[in-house]
Amino acid sequence: MQNESVRLRNTKQRDKEAFSVNEQTARQITRHTLEALWDLQKDARLSERHLLVVGMSSSEVVGQRIGTAGTISAAEAIYESVQVFQKETGVQLAFQCCEHLNRALVVERETAYAKGYDIVAAIPTTRAGGSMATHAYANMTDPVLVEFISADAGIDIGDTFIGMHIRHVAVPVRGRHTSIGEAHVTMVRSRPKLIGGERASYPGKNEHCF
């Protein structure tokens, strides 16, 4: 019931949006996001053991300054591609909220329990949380909010700064797209720390996140 009430609120919000994406643009956003995720996958090799963090400013996607023009329709287009990627890879997902919720994250309750994350009592909205987190919360199976994670990889659409949620050591990943919609896009994976100094032996330079 909680998810249903959030979905209804999102529908009302979408109908009042000053900025939105048309069907053709939405399809392009979905395609470009999925292509970017597969570019990330070539380096990160994500599976059901791993956690992917998604940061996204729907305002930036529609060409507006971050935090000024939240757009559910843009969030829907990106969420669609992330869901396809998740079904293909099995990767667990975390959606970053905006700074009003201290960049907390929407995850499945199962993920929070399995990884020992503390659950916090808040529900993201477009005014406090952002369109992406709000849409994810409305459509995930059993969503909860957590404050801190240690993700294996991430995609940042609109310079939302997901670095605080990435496991050490973060490694930038370049894909075929530098933007999705009007938003700048960056990606990252992680690798284990190299320790022990000059006498230590290390895996190959292209070692992937564990």
* pLDDT (tens digit per residue) in 52-107: 999 999 999 999 999 999 999 999 999 999 999 999 999 999 999 999 999 999 99
Residues 32-40, mean pLDDT to the nearest whole number: 99
| Percent of residues in the chain assigned helix, strand, coil, to nearest 5 | 40, 20, 40
pLDDT for residue 121: 95
Domains and CATH numbers, the chain: 2-199 (3.40.50.10360)
CA angle 210, 168, 155 (to 5 degrees): 80
> Please, which pLDDT band fits residue 205 given cuts at 50, 70 and 90?
low
Rounded to whole angstroms, how far apart are CA atoms 93 and 55? Answer: 11
> Please, which pLDDT band fits residue 18 given cuts at 50, 70 and 90?
low
Query: Which residues neighbour 47 within 8 Å (Cβ) at sequence distance 6 or greater?
Result: 89, 90, 91
In this model, does residue 12 exceed pLDDT 70?
A: no
- Greatest CA separation for the chain: 63
In this model, does residue 153 exceed pLDDT 50?
A: yes
